[in-house]
């Protein structure tokens, strides 16, 4: 069931990307064409015992690989309300923690030195605005970070 959802989402994402490239070409939006030409988007999240450092951003409806690396000396977690719906699949060393009833996503935990990849795609908001995806460590709740889902479609005529 989850696999089927993933394939459907990928299809939808590919179609959306095709549409974006066509739209951009007719508006001669060179920088945006370059962004989509690189293919899948990527966000890097590095964890130390002091906190998170984040490189990169993504855009709505774009399949994005989020690499999360624990360079700390103790286990750390990562959780966000957005991950409940927007993470399509997890690969690598992260362990998915469930809620108290044993169902439903609660967080991912990573041992020191381990890496995981979250395949992420967040739908655009009804008002087409850039949004922040806040996340934090459920084991050490003072550790917080965020990345942006940058909406660009408004810039060339709301296509
Ligand atoms: Cu932590």
| Overall average pLDDT of the 150-154 stretch | 84
CATH number of 39-153: 2.60.40.420
**pLDDT, tens digit, 9 for 90 and up, residues 138-147:** 999 999 999 9
140 CA distance to ligand 1 middle (Å): 4
138 CA distance to ligand 1 middle (Å): 7
Sorted by where each begins, the domain ranges of the chain are 39-153
Q: How crowded is residue 57: how many other Cβ atoms within 10 Å of its Cβ?
A: 16
**pLDDT, tens digit, 9 for 90 and up, residues 110-139:** 999 999 999 999 999 999 999 999 999 999
**81-100 burial: b if 16+ Cβ within 10 Å, else e:** ebbeebbbebeebbeeeeee
143 CA distance to ligand 1 middle (Å): 6
């Amino acid at each position: 069931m989850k696999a089927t959802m993933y394939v459907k989402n990928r299809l939808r994402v590919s179609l959306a990307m095709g549409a974006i490239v066509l739209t951009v070409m007719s508006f001669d939006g060179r920088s945006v064409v370059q962004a989509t030409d690189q293919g899948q988007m990527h966000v890097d999240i590095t964890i130390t015992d002091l906190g998170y450092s984040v490189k990169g951003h993504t855009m709505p409806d774009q399949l994005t690989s989020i690499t999360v690396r624990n360079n700390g000396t103790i286990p750390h977690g990562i959780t966000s309300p957005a991950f409940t719906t927007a993470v399509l699949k997890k690969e690598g060393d992260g362990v998915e923690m469930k809620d108290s009833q044993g169902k439903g996503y609660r967080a991912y935990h990573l041992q020191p030195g381990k890496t995981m990849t979250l395949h992420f795609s967040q739908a655009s908001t009804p008002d087409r605005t850039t949004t922040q995806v806040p996340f934090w460590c459920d084991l050490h709740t003072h550790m917080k970070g965020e990345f942006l889902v940058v909406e660009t479609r408004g810039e060339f005529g709301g296509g």
